[in-house]
Amino acid sequence: MAEVRASNTTDAATREGITLRAVLFGLVVVLWIAFWNTHAEYIAHTSRMNISHFPMVLLCTYILVVLLNQLVRWIKPRYALCQTELLVVLAMGLLGAAIPAYGLTSFFLGMISVPHYLATPENQWSEFVHPHLPDWLVPSNEGHAMRWLYEGLPAGQSIPWDVWVVPLFWWLSVVAAIVLASIALSSMLRKQWSEHERVAYPVLGPPVDLASAADAPKREGILYNRLFWIGCGLIFFVKAWNIMSYFNPGIPIIWLGQQWFYFARFYPPQHTGVNFFTIGFAYFANVDVLFSILVFHLLYLNEIAFFRRIGFTLSAKTGPGDAVAGLQSAGAFIALVFWTFWTARLHLKDVFRKALWGDDEVDDSGELMSHRMAVISLGISVLFMLLWLRTMGLEWKFVCLLTLGLFIAYVGLARVIAETGVVYMSMPINEAGFAGLFFHPADYSAGARTSITLFSALRCQSKAMFMVPLVHIARLGELIQQQRGRLLMTVLVTLIVGIGGTVILTIFLSYTYGAYNFNDLPFTRYPPRVYDGLVKALKEVPEYKPERYLFLGAGALIFSVMSFLRYRFTWWPLHQIGMIVPVGHAMHSTMSILIAWSAKAIILRIGGASLYRRSRPFFVGMLVGYGLAVFTSYVVDQIWFPGRGHHMHSW
């Protein structure tokens, strides 16, 4: 028995890290995610599978992989993946799940394909938009290529791939530049965030705990924990019970409050829904961060109501969001990036010392890239982006500010997610909004507005494309403990296979079924709204409101003061990052964050850190039960309701 145990240990040691089979299996997972997510969104019309920073399609797939791996471990231990191999699959899945549908492809392909298809005399796109669209970035409708994309190929016709070659080449070239710069920034900031500042990375808590089951001794580990199965069974029962109403609407469902609630005049509506997906990840965030999000949410609510009551407004919007709170959050967001680089100044000094002079005292062996490669890659990528945007026809003043704004937005959002674990979160300000802070609306030419609008095709629902996954992959690199060259090559291979496969699949399905039949927001409904808004802005110069700088500056100032207090006084209760989260899509998560904070605060008060660690399996089990229920719903829909799916999972 001792010899067998020693043999198993040796075998596991030889398979640790980024093995060939882990990468190959990860690529299969990436392609499966691309197919499942695309099919679920366009054809099956089931749950929205990648609207969050830990996409549901990844959670479901990862759960199935972990459970099947455990089964293989029982039957044929030598074929089972070890913990570090599962983490490699997780890292590849994080990237792969950011590509399809609500990730890159839907918004991107919809924005570049719709201008020639939906142009009519009524919407005036031909008059105001078409003259400023670069031919090398927008596929033409020659031979009805775009009409067939949206309406389906006529019998006997083949997919006109030739009209896509040039636009896809140039768009994917700038995507490659942005990705390379994001990898470089993730590598340069990893040590500062993970080791010096001890950022929590709550999103990685549950999947890493699940991966630990692969190396746990027999009859031990999270999959043998009673609390895990209680959490899993409870949430699976709640969600699976509602599946029965698919067959008989008369069966009462377990209502989780998924609606907007108006509790007082002038106050924005509040979303009352309980989302177990949000709760499961938020539990792994620091309790003071969760508390601060709730405090600032209440402050914003009262502030919005006050300004509405006195008749002051910066926009006509009356829904859950408001420009007053949004601008303060944007100011805090910009200040966050400033403080991020300011606190990292000594570390970044070491990075450049190593990159420029090869200082042996600076160790970069544990990074995605060597510091020298990171600095060179960042410089080349930024230069390419500047030239690419200039070639679009933008003036240098717009080019420089758009590029700076893009990376401010990317780094800021990555830090927010790494700190808070709020999986439903978008940028409070994007690259176009940042550039707009420096110009009067009348300063924009028609060509500039059109080019900036077209560039928003890469906005990816304001989720910062691949920056958030890359920051978390850099952290996973510490746990994998593998040579940086292998991890970097794994990232690049994943992106090439994932983006290439998903783009080809999406175009194929569009010509096969007709993209207009997808009835998908990012592909078919969002782009027309954007171009209609562009025509309106070209015909009537938007109103200039200098008051916005007051709120933007107030947000930046308050954030800076709170950052100083936070670093200066250990007793200061509020975390400054709470100013940023309670706007945008995160508003849907308030009730769930309240539940997560209450549960964690009570657990820490009663039993301290020890009870917190013992209770973690329950919340991991919640996520597993939720993911299994979503997968079950998808299977039920494919068997009994093909093409008429049900939205088990959304905001």
pLDDT digits (tens, 9 = 90+) for 486-527: 999 999 999 999 999 999 999 999 999 999 999 888 888 899
Residue 8, pLDDT > 80, answer no
Are 57 and 149 found together in one domain? no
What band does 257 get if pLDDT is binned at 50, 70 and 90?
A: confident
pLDDT(195) > 70 = yes
Query: Do 67 and 45 sit in the same domain of this protein?
Result: yes
For the stretch 439-459, pLDDT in tens is 999 999 999 999 999 999 998
In a domain, 645, yes or no: no
> Are residues 226 and 295 located together in one domain of the fold?
no
* 502 neighbors 34 (Cβ within 8 angstroms): yes
Given 222, 246, 270, the domain boundary residue is 246
Give the residue among 119, 204, 110 at the shortest CA–CA distance from 475: 204
Q: Are residues 90 and 110 in the same domain?
A: no
Choose one of 246, 271, 300: the last residue of a domain.
246
**How much of the chain exceeds pLDDT 90, in percent?**
77
Q: Are residues 189 and 111 in the same domain?
A: yes
Query: Could you give the CA distance from residue 401 to residue 390 in angstroms, rounded to a whole number?
Result: 12
pLDDT in tens, 304-345: 899 989 988 876 555 556 888 999 999 999 999 999 999 999
Handedness of CA 614, 620, 624, 625 (dihedral sign): positive
Position 648 in a domain: no
Q: At how many degrees (to 10) do helices 467-480 and 162-191 cross?
A: 50
**Residue pair 504/91 in contact by the 8 Å Cβ criterion:** no
> Of 190, 494, 200, which is closest to residue 368 (Cα–Cα)?
190
Q: 60-65 long-range CB contacts below 8 Å, 24 or more apart?
A: 60/627, 60/628, 60/630, 60/631, 60/634, 61/29, 61/32, 61/33, 61/36, 61/93, 62/89, 62/90, 62/93, 62/207, 62/210, 63/210, 63/624, 63/627, 63/628, 63/631, 64/631, 65/29, 65/89
pLDDT surpasses 60 at 481: yes
Q: Are residues 513 and 535 in the same domain?
A: yes
Q: Which residues of 160-191 are buried (b: 16+ CB within 10 A; e: fewer)?
A: beebbeebbebbbebbbbbbbbbbbbbbbbbb
Report yes or no on 195 lying in a domain. Answer: yes
Q: Tell me, yes or no, whether 535 lies in a domain.
A: yes
Examine the domain organization and report whether 203 and 223 are in the same domain.
no
Answer whether residue 646 is part of any domain: no
Mean pLDDT of 394-399: 96
| Residue found by looking up tokens 């906005």 in the block | 459
Same domain flag for 164 and 18: no
| DSSP-based three-state secondary structure for 270 | strand
3-state DSSP assignment of residue 137:
coil
Structural domain tally of the chain?
2
Please indicate, yes or no, if residue 292 is contained in any of the structural domains.
yes
Residue 86 has which token pair?
A: 């599962």
Q: Is-contact 541 442, C-beta < 8 A? A: yes
In a domain, residue 149? The reply is: yes
Task: Give the integer Cα–Cα distance in Å for 467 and 16.
Answer: 26
- In this structure, is residue 651 part of a structural domain? no
The pLDDT of residue 206: 97
Q: Which amino acid is at 432?
A: A
Residues 401 and 337 in one domain: yes
pLDDT band at 262 (very low <50, low <70, confident <90, very high): confident
Pairing of strands 260-261, 270-271: antiparallel
Residue 131 reports pLDDT greater than 90: yes
- Average confidence (pLDDT) over 225-237: 97
In a shared domain, residues 205 and 219? no
**Type of residue found at 378:** L
Range of the domain at 73: 2-99+210-246
Whole-number Å distance between alpha carbons of 94 and 481: 18
Looking at the structure, do residues 368 and 514 belong to the same domain, yes or no?
yes
> Do the beta carbons of residue 645 and residue 40 sit within 8 Å?
yes
Q: List, as one string, the DSSP characters of 66-82.
A: HHHHHHHHHH-GGGS--
Which of 232-246, 582-596, 630-644 bottoms out in mean pLDDT, i.e. has the lowest?
A: 582-596
Beta bridge pairs of residue 271: 260
Same domain, 389 and 298: yes
CA–CA separation, 366 vs 357, rounded Å? 19
Name the domain boundary from 226, 246, 266. Answer: 246
- Length of the chain counted residue by residue: 651
